[in-house]
Structure formats: C-alpha cells, structure tokens
C-alpha cells in the first residue's frame, strides 16, 4: 500500500538530503549500517520496556532505511550489491525489533505471548520473500495492507500507547498474514496465465541451442589443429 501511493513523493522529498549526505562523503553502506545499529538499540529498549525511548529509536531506524537509497542514487552507486545489502539489513532489522518484543513479552504475565512476535516475523518474512521471488520470475507481487512501512507505523503506535501494545501486534499479525495471502494469489494468477512448455518442445529447444555451441567447439578444435599443422 505504501509503495503504491507514497513511495514516489517521499523519494522525491528525500532526494536533496541524499545529495547533501553524498557530498559530505557519507556512503550508502554506512547509512544502512546505522539503521541496523538503531534497530538493535530499539530492540533492546523494547525488551526493557522503555517504550518512549524505543519510539525515538524506531524513527532513527526508519530514517536510514529511507535515506540509503537516496545517497546511493546521488552518488551513482545504486546497483545489485547495494540492493542485496539493503534487503539483508531489512530482514535483520525486523528480526531485532521482533526479538525485542518477544523479550518484553517473555517477562510479562503471559510468557506464551512470546510466540506472537515470532509468528509476526515469520509472516513478515514470507511477505518479503514472495515479492523477491516473484520479481526474479518476472511477476509483480507488490501491494497488501501491511508492508514494511506499515509495520513500522503500527509498531510505533503500539509503543507510543503501551496499553494497546499487544493488541496492535495481533492486528499486525492478521494484516500481515492477509498480505501474504493476497500476494500469493496475485502471483499465482500471473503464473497460471503463463503457458508451460511441453517436454518435447523443451528438448527441441535444448537441441537447437546446443547445436550452435557444439559447432563453435568443433570450429575451435579444427582451427587449433590447422594452426598446429602449420607450425610443424
């Protein structure tokens, strides 16, 4: 939902900040690393029950996550390596935040609630994996009610109003699971519309592609033999 409605305006708004950071010599990898450190600190604050501090640290976690891409684009360093690092750091940051929530619930009146953040992280990881896998296969898996930005906002609300922290986690879990189902159905329909290639046609295509390759090898071998004869 966030990617479809607000991503472009926010990217345009933070582009000047990214240019200033890039001119100051700040690398996008350093910005990403700061976000992970802030996520770890936020997780510790959540685990200790310091929710006001956790809200501040959560904001400081989200800012680098939004700025690293802008810094990379400003410096012309946007590429697969940065995208890979960003994706891995996002999963790590999510794990640190939910681990902090589990730590807090483990020391509460109902220790079994520690499974709630675990289930939430599992559902969030499934949502992220579906999008990544769909893009590799050439499909679109964007959309849903609870993407990463919405999870940050919802978690911030739960931390800001601590009495509703657990109910907010339940709502996040339900909406994240609904997002996972939505993306699965969306990609399933796209994949079902693609015709599968019959086995015979696959073999023919493989043979056709293999023949030129085999021919080039033969030509190379003949060329080497001729060059050896000339030398002799």
C-alpha distance from residue 139 to each of 90, 134, 147 (Å): 22, 5, 18
Query: Which position among 65, 68, 86, 90 bears the catalytic label?
Result: 90
Sign of CA dihedral 36, 31, 122, 51: positive
Q: Catalytic site residue 90?
A: yes
Task: Please give the distance of CA 89 from its chain centroid, rounded to a whole number.
Answer: 8
- Burial zone of 110 (CB within 10 Å; 0-12 exposed, 13-18 middle, 19+ buried): exposed
If you search the block for the tokens 């929530």, which residue do you land on? Answer: 101
If you search the block for the tokens 């709502």, which residue do you land on? Answer: 171
- Burial zone of 71 (CB within 10 Å; 0-12 exposed, 13-18 middle, 19+ buried): buried
Sign of CA dihedral 174, 117, 93, 83: negative
Closest CA to 69 of 83, 80, 88, 59: 83
Q: Are 169 and 116 in contact (CB under 8 A)?
A: yes
Q: Are 68 and 32 in contact (CB under 8 A)?
A: yes
Q: Which residues are catalytic?
A: 90
């Amino acid at each position: 939902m966030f990617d479809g409605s607000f991503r472009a305006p926010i990217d345009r708004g933070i582009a000047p900040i990214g240019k200033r950071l890039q001119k100051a010599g700040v690398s996008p990898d350093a910005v990403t690393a700061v976000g992970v450190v802030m996520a770890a600190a936020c997780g510790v604050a959540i685990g200790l029950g310091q929710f006001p501090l956790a809200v501040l640290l959560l904001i400081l976690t989200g800012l680098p996550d939004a700025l690293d891409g802008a810094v990379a684009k400003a410096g012309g360093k946007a590429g697969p390596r940065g995208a890979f690092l960003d994706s891995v750091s996002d999963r790590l940051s999510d794990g640190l935040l939910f681990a902090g929530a589990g730590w807090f619930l483990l020391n509460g009146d109902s220790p079994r609630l520690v499974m709630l953040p675990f289930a939430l992280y599992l559902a969030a990881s499934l949502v992220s994996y579906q999008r990544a896998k769909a893009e590799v296969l050439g499909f679109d898996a964007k959309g849903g009610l609870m993407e990463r930005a919405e999870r940050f906002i919802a978690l911030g609300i739960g931390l800001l109003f601590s009495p509703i922290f657990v109910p907010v986690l339940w709502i996040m879990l339900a909406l994240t699971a609904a997002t996972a189902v939505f993306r699965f159905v969306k990609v399933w329909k796209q994949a079902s519309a693609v015709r599968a290639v019959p086995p015979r046609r696959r073999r023919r295509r493989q043979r056709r592609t293999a023949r030129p390759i085999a021919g080039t090898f033969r030509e190379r071998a003949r060329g080497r033999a001729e060059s050896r004869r000339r030398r002799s």
